[in-house]
Structure 1
Amino acid sequence: MRFPLDLKNIIAVVPVAMAIVDLEMKFLAVSEKWVATHGHEGIELIEKSYTEVFPHMDEQWWCLLEECLKGKRQQAVKEHRFNRSDGCTSWLRWEARPWLTEEGRIGGLMLYSEDITEKKNISLNEKRFQLFMDYFPGLCWMMDDQNVLKYANKNFLETLNLSEEVLGKKSEEIFGLDIAQSAHANNLEVLRTRQNMEFYQTIRDQQGHLQYFKTYKFPFLDAQGEGNIVGAISFDITKNKQLEEDLYQSDAQFKQAFEHSLIGMALITPEGRWIRANSSLCKILGYTEVELQLLHIQDITHPDDLALSMAYLKDLADGTTENVKVEKRYIHKNGTVIWVVVSVTMLNDSMGNPLHYVSQIEDITKRKEIEEDLYLSEKKYRTIFENVQDVFYQTNQQGLVTEVSPSIEQYSGYLRGQIIGHPVTDFYYYLQDRERIVEILRTEKSVIDFEVRLKTSNEELRYASVNARLIIENGKITGTEGSMRDVTTRKFQENALKALNTELTASNEQKNRLLSIIGHDLRNPISGSLQLLDLTLMGFESTSADELHEYLFMMQQELSHANELLEDLLTWAKSQFNSVSFNPVEVSDIAGLIQKCIQLILPMAQKKGIGISLSVGEGLAVMADRGMLETIIRNLISNAVKFTASGGHILVKAITVGKGVRFSVTDNGQGIPEEKIRELFDKNSNYTTYGTSGEKGTGLGLDLCYDFVLKHGGEITVESEQGVGSTFYFTIPG
């Protein structure tokens, strides 16, 4: 179709890149700006196809154009990289809109294009910057001239505790008005001057700690030097600030320490001239600082120490040694000799060249005097220590011997070297002595005349009396110290005396018990028999045969009891004085032995109508003293008869237990009160009671049983219940 000429001329001069195409996409009109933008100078475009002029447009763009021609789209937009005919590469932004004929139908398209190469380059630079800064260790961000945050790297967001949602927001929304205004002013200044800027900022982290940052801001500009984006990077210089502060504080502290130190301090040139001296050093030497600055150290060093002092200083200057600490003598301004401890270090410059000596000088004149006194004192006390007869010792907190006097050898046989450094527990005969003395020291801090048992080098027992105390230094226990005296001879004498006293006491108790029994239990039946005899003789003629028989029977009972008591007394006395011989033999006829004992007791049992039965396992045999075994069984059966009422029953039993034999005597008599059972075998008790028919006991029978069972290495026990009966057990081991 033909395009109106006047409209074609108007389009030719419009100031934008514009073209008109028909439904077949043939050019009807183009602007001069279009020709210049696409590099089509000298090329006739009218009636040419758009596809011929732009053969490399992508498929998506053609689809958009077709949709516009069909009325499906009112507008199509596309950015496209364009290779110009002059060989340059440009970025174009395309826009297409349909135009209508007089009849209202679509007649073709109006095409617009814009060269966005510069904008695109700026955008690419921003993306490259962003990509690089995402891995940048500092804080990085970009703001536009409207104070909108366009970009922030990961470190920026994490440091300021922000999320990515802040991107696209204005600075005042993120940081507040004060900070935003200050930052915006800086940004505008950067854009105005087109110059980089640097400045310092402080922020607080999430814990409220102050952090220091050094920030650089710079404009993002296009090829024409235009742009509205400000980039910024910021570095955390908190550590640097801290180092600067530490350096300042260190320098200030050195000056304070130098001037106010209680010991002398000085700076000395490598040649030995005094540069600076603090007031403490001036006081030590008697010179003012100005007077010292006129001298060399050689001038005030004692002549006998001069050569060694200069050698030390040379080693420091040469780098042979890093520091020196030495005792030496100076000459005071008044001519007196003073002792000092000098600690010297050489300070070098960055090239390693010596700058000056740093000296610390402490007056030890009084200490030297004290050391001399201590030396004389130690010499005196060492003489006493090495010749004292008692044993002096010290231990540390771990219980290791740290010192012991030489006198230990004559008591224990150990040399000092064999004891020092070893645990004290190695020398105790019984460790419980060590535990006891430690416990007392812990609670009372000291012990006096505490008796312990020690062992000699050949394992002999020695008794020692210990006086000891805790060593406490600066409120802490560091060990113990004390003295020991050998009391072995005295202890043996005391033990012998104690044994003699114990034996004498036991003998007296046995004598008293024996006299008590003789005076009471034995005298009563004899006295009663004599009275019956007198009564019989006095009334013999008038006494009937029945009365006489009754008197004689009563006399028989009293004399039998007296005889039994005498037998028990003799046997018990022999037992107590170890006069009874112990002759164990093999007893294989246990049933016969028990039957013999029963026969002796049987008349007394029959008189009370008490039955006695026997139960003995087959083949029983035991190693025992036959006489003692009979005494034990006879006494237990006799007691059972005595405390069993008429019509009762007694069972004597013997069974195998392990390699030995257990004997038991069971009755159904009156039983024993629970509180009295524990007294039966108590040597300090003499518990006796009357039998069911008024029989009187001596209390010796069970003593004999207990002693004889013990001689066999056995054990005797009892089970009893009042009103039910009792069972006495004893074992004879195999």
Structure 2
Amino acid sequence: MRETPTQPQTQAALWEQAERLKSIIDGTNIGTWEWNVQTGETTFNERWAEIIGYRLEELSPVDINTWLNHAHPDDLGESGDRLERHFRGETPFYDYQCRMRHKSGRWVWVQDRGRVVSWTDEGKPLMMCGTHADITEMREQQNEAHRTSAQLQAILDSATGVSVIATTPDGLITLFNCGAQRLLGYTAEEMVGIQTPALIHLSDEVEQRGRELSQRVGREISGFEVFVHLARQGEPETRQWTYVHKDGTQRRVNLTVSAIFDRQRTLSGFLGTASDLSELQSTTRALQESENRFRELVANLPGVVYRCENDANWTMRYMSDEVACLTGYPASDFIDNRVRSFSSVVHPDDLHITHQSVAAIERHEQFELTYRLRHVDGHCVWVRERGRGEYDANGELLWISGFIWDISDRKAAEDALRVSERRFNGAFNTAPQGMAIVNLDGRWLEVNGALCRMLGYSREELLQLDFQHITHPDDLAKDLALLQQLLDGVIADYQLQKRYIDKRGSVLWILLSVSLVRDAQGLPLHFVSQIQDITERFEAEMRLREREEYLSTLLDNVIDAIVTIDEAGLIETFNPAAERIFGYAKAGAEGQSFKMLMPERYREQYDDLLTAYRENGVPALLTKGMELLAQRRNGELFTMELAISQIMLRGQRRFIAVIRDISDRKRIERMKNEFVSTVSHELRTPLTSIAGALGLINGGALGEVPVPMGEMLRIAQSNSQRLADLINDLLDMDKLVAGKMTFDLQALPLWPLLEAAREQNQPYATQHSVALQLKPQLDVTVRVDRQRFAQIMSNLLSNAAKFSAPGANVEISAAPAKTRVRISVRDFGVGIPDAFRSRIFGKFSQADATDTRLKGGTGLGLAITKELTERMGGQIGFESVEGQGTTFWVELPVENNC
């Protein structure tokens, strides 16, 4: 039946909710404020004053000026802008990080967040509420984390000669450094978060290695596991693989794969470091061959001795092995142009220079040329060639002889500065991050376009300023101190996370990298700075930290014990509620076995469940609201309600146990059951006598009853009968709960039972002008207790009759349901409200208190019906649509007649 909460109950619930909210606010350790925007009147809590080092009474009297006087002047402008945007409805909240002057004189960072909660009739903001949170420590930790991350990224990016690729535990690429891009031809954008290492490997090599590993370990190893199998066991593996370039070419590499673990020793990914062996192997062979021939033939000549034909390709008849040093090709390649002609290794742009020798040869003169050769590895070698023609007795040209030597060092010395300047200027002007050359006094000597766009200044405007002008005042001292260490030679370079103030006055968080350029004598010339805007990343990390702190605060303030457990059954986290319930300190519980919270006799069973779930996935360990005995530190046993669920964290299983101490609840339930049993037995005997006496009087056994008195006696008899029904239901429920009700289960045909139920309950239905209709016959046998089955049907049919309109029908039907039979009782009454459906089978449950007065009943019928059904191996349920009626169904096992 249906009941609504009384007014005292509602007030108590509201009071309890208010107290809970107050406890939550106190537990968060956050300052709060309320501000009358129109009058300036302001209210702070004690924590607000503590954040800046005061007691609230020291700040009295308080108003909006209390905040303004302690806020950093440089933050007031942005704070005001954000406040106005909130007033205009552009933002749902006012949210700003600002600095507040502490009583000690230092500045603390606070997260100031609030919103308008009421408005004037003219639409102006009236009352505004919000919070103050101390985030000073968080800001310092973020600075350190950003600095460490930037240093690591700089190191990886500078390793252009080594390919470094990192992946997640399942193989998705998360890092693809410059060396990998150069070696494989892919960009980081094409690989990170999209591809796996399978793209750059030969499938045949991977399959062959997989077969080797599978044979070694006795199980199949394939796919990504081929690369990381040994690393996953904690053993870095180094072996040679073939990398496939984006253009399809292949490179032989030496690859080392190792596992990456976080501070908790949880596997977070893998790191592959590779060096290119192709060029190294080819160059090494050529150098070894050249070295041997050089010692044998022309060990004393610092160049190439040659004799060639006077043709377009300079066809060589003889060439010393020193040519391998200049070109990377052995001399045998050039003899008679067996593999290549000498002209093919001359730089195409310099071929015309070699043709200048023709005129000198025609004049029988010596020639001397300077040009470039293309080495096998792609670099150019500057050479000087001196030669002359050799003629026969008739003056006919026989061949050309000469000597070629390497002048690369001299050319490099001449060109190095010019090449370096061009390269630096190109990188400087096209770099995606801000770059600047800064004078020793801090003035900008040169800035690139990215820095101008970042700060909102034109190049000309920036060159009139110094970096001190745009640096946040709180960050300037640290920056200047590092610059001095750079000048003193204490450090070679530095990185700093700091704030710039752009042309509009907005604060930008930037990552600054600074190095010092010195002249040949070691005297400082200027600084080179790289500036990266990290404002969005900084704010995202800040929001993430705030979220983590919020969740941590909630976890610390819930009333239930929450314990996380690793796969080995060891406790990882232990919240304050767990400390209070079990009596263990957090430090003493973490790292210990979860079974220490259980009585000794349950611990072995827990180990078996954990082992079965870990090895075979048997879900018996996971539970929703199981009641078990638990043990406190002092040895006291109590009843707990335990729910265990599983999560995956960085590829590892974790278990979350939510524990509630229900010992008080169990004690109250026992007291209630004892009370109900006692009261029902003490009332039943006198009430039976009273009801019998009233029946005799109303039946005329003592003579005719006066009309006025008769009405009162009939009401008394009706109420005594209702009270007797309540006591009988209470006794039935008491027996069911105590397990004392006996069941005489027999194999009985269902249809006679349903006919008997309809006949026995039709008189009651007739009182409500309702007809009970039995649907077509179903021949099936069920195992039930005849009396208890009749009680189930009586409860369902009386309910259906009571809640049906006069003149309506109630339908009784039976239908097969797999291995069961479903018996349905359908009415066409008012239906069951959505809000009451979860409590429909609860004790004393009624949707509306007026149902008891108008319809009668104890509120125990459906609860008893559910218990009886389940004790006979069945199930009960219902479907209902408000205003259209309700169908209650009972499913019972079918008796096998074979």
**Bin for the TM-score computed over the shorter chain:** 0.3 to 0.5
Higher Rg: 1
The two structures have a TM-score, normalised by structure 2, of 0.31
Higher relative contact order (CA 8 A, sep 6+): 2
